[in-house]
Structure 1
């Protein structure tokens, strides 16, 4: 029964997004079918084969090594803190981001990351027959994050029409940045984090082509390549990367502290009027139909629905910290779908980040298109996370 509910959930999510699409007649189902088939194959390979499991183990080991290297630098500055048996979230999960951001920028500087993005983006474009720029952008988001990926293609965004710009805004809701993976691995199982990454990338492309399908002429189907004149010297690049990483740490820290505190304030106000009422309980009711479609028992449905609400209202870090405390009490299927759902940037604050990026790159007039379609961004972000979780859930029971 639970497996059938999980399968049904996939069709329900795609059906709901299609129902909300203002351009139903323009939706091309063949590329969508190809992408779903590719996702099922990728997930089976990662979670159902020995080679896939070894690959995930290798990636996890690599990121753990990067975190260990980062801890060397943190220990130099905070030796007494890092010597403790239990290290605070700020030191164990956030500060390593500085090193990981720098590492990814070094890969980009020498063209290694660019080469990977180009090749994988080309494969996705050829496989799905969807536009090249959108296909490449989905891969860029996977490694660089949404705002960074938008900055990379900023010269091409300037000449795109509004309806196509909206596609990039919709897709931006479903990204994560490679630099943040290390922080996730300190809280939730690695195999589901690494499974979610490519699925989110493909599902962002898939659902954007349903929610906002666009027709791209052959002469317009090109990918912007930054000129060499934009390239800085190596030491300026890594120094800037470290500052970017530190800024990211501060932003995440401020958001976690602020949102947790605001949640406590809101719970206090709700409890004043109705004893025992919390925002978590409200979210668990609102999101329970979607959580039930993940193939969960009723008890786990209410808990995962609560995590969904926390993620959408605050961010995935707050929800992952909660999940981390309950991993040992949940079934393997529940852990798999919950972790996969949480592995993305889809929440209300991300809408603000996307709007801010569009505004800085394109100006207020063109960026107003994002403000008028916030609901599409939120629907896409929620649907991508659900679809990725449902596909992973098919293979873990």
Structure 2
């Protein structure tokens, strides 16, 4: 029964996004079906084969090594803190971001990351038949994050029509930066984090093509390559990366503290009027239909629904911190779909980040396309997370 609910969930999410599309006749169904089949094959390979499991374990071990390297730097600055048996979230999950951002920027500086993004993006474009630039961007934002990926291709974005610009904004809702993976792995199982990453990438492309189908001519279907003149020297690059990393740490820390405090405050106010009422319970009711469609029982569905609401209204860190303490009491299927759903940047604050990035790159006139279509960004972000979780749920019981 629950498996059938999971399948039904995939159809309902796709159907709801289709109903939201303003240009249903322009949707390229053959391309989208190709993408969906690729997603099923990738998920099956990663979660149901020994080779796929081995690859995920190796990738997880690689990121664990990166975190251990970061911990050596943290221990040098804070030896007494890192010597403790348990280390606070700030040091265990956030501080490693400084080194991991720098590491990925070094790969980009020497062209390694650029080569990977370019080749994988080309493969996706060939398989799906969708525009090269959008396919390229779906891979780029997966490694670099939404605002960073937008900044890298800003020169080409400037000349695009506003309707096509909206596609990139919609896709940006479902990004995951490689620099943040170390923080995720300190809280939730690695296999589902790494399963979510390619699924989010492909689902962002798939659902954006439904929500905002755009015709792209062959002349327009090109990928921007930054000129060599834009390249800084190596030491300037890594120094700037470290500063970017610490800024990310501060922003995330501020958001976690602020949103947890706001949630506590709201719970206090709600409890004053209705005993036992919390924001988590309200979100549990609102999102419970979608949680049931993940193939969950009543108890798990209500809890996962509350995490969905926490993620959308605050961020995935707050939800993952809550989930971490409940993992031992949850079934493999519940863990798989919940972790997959939480692994993305889809929330209200991300809309603000995307709008701010567009405003800084294009000016207020062009960035208004985001302001006028906030609902599309939110629908896409929620739908991508749900669809990725439902696909993973089909293979884990």
State the TM bucket, normalised to the shorter chain: over 0.9
Tell me which residue corresponds to 2:98: 98
Which residue does the alignment assign to 1:291?
A: 291
Which residue in the other structure is 2:209 paired with? Answer: 209
Unaligned runs of 5+ in 1: none
**Structure 1 residue 227: deviation in Å?**
0.2
2-side partners of 1:197 and 1:316: how far apart?
Answer: 14
Aligned to 1:348: 348
Q: What is aligned with 2:192?
A: 192
> 1:302-344 CA distances to partner (integer Å, 9 max, x unpaired)?
0000000000000000000000000000110000000000000
Separation in 2, partners of 1:147, 1:255: 17
| Secondary structure of 2:326 counterpart | helix
Mapped to 2, the partners of 1:32 and 1:293 lie a distance apart of: 22
Counterpart Cα distance in 2 of 1:298 and 1:30? 36
What is the CA–CA distance in structure 1 between the aligned matches of 2:351 and 2:38, rounded to whole Å?
A: 29
1:327-363 CA deviation, whole Å, 9 max, x = no partner?
0001100000000000000000000000000000000
| Alignment-derived partner of residue 183 in structure 1 | 183
**What corresponds to 1:77 in structure 2?**
77
Q: Which residues in structure 2 correspond to 1:77-226 (within 5 Å)?
A: 77-226=77-226
Q: Matches of residues 1-397 of structure 1 in structure 2 within 5 Å?
A: 1-397=1-397
Secondary structure of the residue that 2:201 maps to in structure 1?
helix
Deviation at residue 28 of structure 1 after TM alignment: 1.0
| SS of structure 1 residue aligned to 2:219 | helix
CA distance in 2, matches of 1:257, 1:176: 21
TM-score (norm 2): 1.00
The 2-side partners of 1:230 and 1:282 are apart by 49
Moved over 4 A (4+): none
Mapped partners of 1:229, 1:59: distance in 2: 34
Q: Distance in 2 between matches of 1:98 and 1:122?
A: 30
* Alignment size in residue pairs: 397
* CA distance in 1 between partners of 2:42 and 2:290 (Å): 24
Query: 2: distance between equivalents of 1:333 and 1:271?
Result: 33
In structure 1, what is the Cα distance between the partners aligned to 2:166 and 2:240?
30
Displacement after TM superposition at 1:150 (Å): 0.2
Deviates more, 1:19-28 or 1:254-263: 19-28
SS in 2 for 1:395: coil
